[in-house]
């Protein structure tokens, strides 16, 4: 655990040294800040817009950060050849991958906390104290970002950066459209295609599970049971991605 923690804290420090985090943070805060321009709308509509824009910003910029941090974590170490020093020490490849994942999770958490604080501050300034549903939605977005990061980390262990970016964004889009995909499967009559479709539906990360914000912004309550099940789904998917990452990194010639 100690070795993993060393890798994790180094990954975190390395990310803080890079400008990516700060640029994304500033752009995200500006994006959320612009939602204040909707003050010409009725108070209720303005609040809805602030929430919609903020949730979308936290998710979108968080996803970019997760993908780039995960990608840089592996390929950066290989390019700078620092990985040779690391692996020469008594650090196993398994420790390296898990440590990298923990480190990038801290970066994603820091980013999510800072943007969320700004968002909550904005709501309070509008005299709308955020309720528990807002926090549930933020929690699910964070788990989703961890999942995106874990998948990107797994891909980084065997593919190039360009492929990783394309695949991660492709999964981000398809994962958010899973409802549509499911509807297509349900209407398919061919039993083989139906079976293959359901298999694919379960393999592709279902990011739509984490999307409760469309309901939360209009005042719909979401049960803790749903939130709990979705967190469990996210955690299991993260474990799968990390295990796949370990498998391919063990096989990789460095």
Partner 1 sequence: MKNKNWVNLFIAVLLYIPVGFLQVHIDYRRKLEDLEARLMLMPGQVAGSLVLSGFRGVAADLLWLNIEELWHQGHTYKLLPMFESVAWLQPRYITVWAVGGWHMAYNIYASTQDQKEKKYWYEQGAAFLKKGIAYNPEQYDLYFELGWTYYNKGEDFANAVKYLEKAVKFPCPDYVKSLLAHAYENNDQVDKAVEQWTRVLNTGFESVAKRALKVIREEGAFTPTRRRRLGMGMED
The interface region with partner 1, picked from 73-81, 101-109, 115-123, 229-237 by CB under 8 A, is: 229-237
What is the closest distance, in whole angstroms, from the C-beta atom of residue 214 to partner 1 in the complex? Answer: 5
Total of residues contacting partner 1 (CB under 8 A): 58
Is residue 30 part of the contact set for partner 1 (CB under 8 A)? no
- Residue 30 or 239: which CB sits closer to partner 1? 239
Give yes or no for a contact between 8 and 103, defined as CB atoms under 8 angstroms apart: yes
Is residue 148 part of the contact set for partner 1 (CB under 8 A)? no
Is residue 36 part of the contact set for partner 1 (CB under 8 A)? no
- Residue 44 or 82: which CB sits closer to partner 1? 44
DSSP 65-130: HHHHHHHHHHHHHHHTTHHHHHHHSS--HHHHHHHHHHHHHHHHHHHHHHHHHHHHHHHHHTT---
Is residue 176 part of the contact set for partner 1 (CB under 8 A)? yes
- Per-residue CA distances from 154 to 144, 178, 250 (Å): 15, 21, 12
Is residue 23 part of the contact set for partner 1 (CB under 8 A)? no
The interface region with partner 1, picked from 10-18, 83-91, 113-121, 210-218 by CB under 8 A, is: 210-218
Is residue 34 part of the contact set for partner 1 (CB under 8 A)? no
91: phi then psi, degrees, rounded to nearest 5: -115, 120
What angle (nearest 5°) sits at the alpha carbon of residue 158, between those of residues 4 and 204?
Answer: 90
Q: Is 219 left (phi over 0), alpha (psi -120 to 50) or beta?
A: left
- Per-residue CA distances from 32 to 83, 84, 102 (Å): 38, 42, 28
Q: Which residues would be at the binding site for partner 1 (CB under 8 A)?
A: 38, 40-41, 44-45, 48-49, 51-53, 55-56, 59-60, 172-173, 176-177, 179-180, 182-184, 187, 201-203, 206-209, 211-215, 217-220, 222-223, 225-226, 229-230, 232-233, 236-237, 239-240, 243-244, 246-247, 250-251
């Amino acid at each position: 655990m100690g070795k993993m923690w060393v890798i994790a804290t180094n990954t975190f420090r390395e990310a803080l040294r890079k400008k990516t985090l700060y640029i994304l943070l500033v752009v995200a805060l500006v994006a959320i800040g612009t939602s204040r321009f909707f003050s010409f709308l009725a108070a209720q509509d303005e609040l809805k817009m602030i929430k919609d824009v903020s949730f979308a910003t936290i998710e979108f910029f968080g996803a970019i950060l997760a993908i780039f941090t995960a990608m840089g974590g592996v390929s950066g170490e290989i390019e700078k050849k620092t990985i040779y020093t690391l692996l020469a020490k008594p650090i196993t490849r398994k420790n390296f991958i898990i440590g990298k994942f923990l480190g990038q999770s801290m970066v994603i958490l820091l980013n999510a906390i800072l943007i969320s604080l700004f968002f909550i501050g904005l709501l309070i300034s509008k005299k709308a104290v955020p309720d528990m549903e807002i926090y549930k939605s933020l929690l699910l977005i964070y788990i989703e970002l961890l999942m995106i990061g874990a998948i990107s980390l797994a891909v980084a262990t065997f593919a190039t950066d360009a492929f990783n970016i394309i695949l991660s964004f492709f999964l981000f889009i398809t994962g958010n459209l899973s409802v549509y995909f499911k509807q297509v499967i349900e209407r398919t009559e061919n039993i083989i295609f139906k079976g293959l479709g359901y298999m694919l539906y379960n393999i592709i990360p279902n990011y739509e599970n984490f999307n409760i914000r469309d309901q939360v912004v209009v005042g719909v309550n979401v049960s803790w049971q749903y939130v709990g099940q979705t967190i469990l789904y996210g955690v299991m998917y993260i474990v799968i991605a990390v295990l796949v990452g370990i498998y391919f990194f063990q096989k990789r010639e460095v």
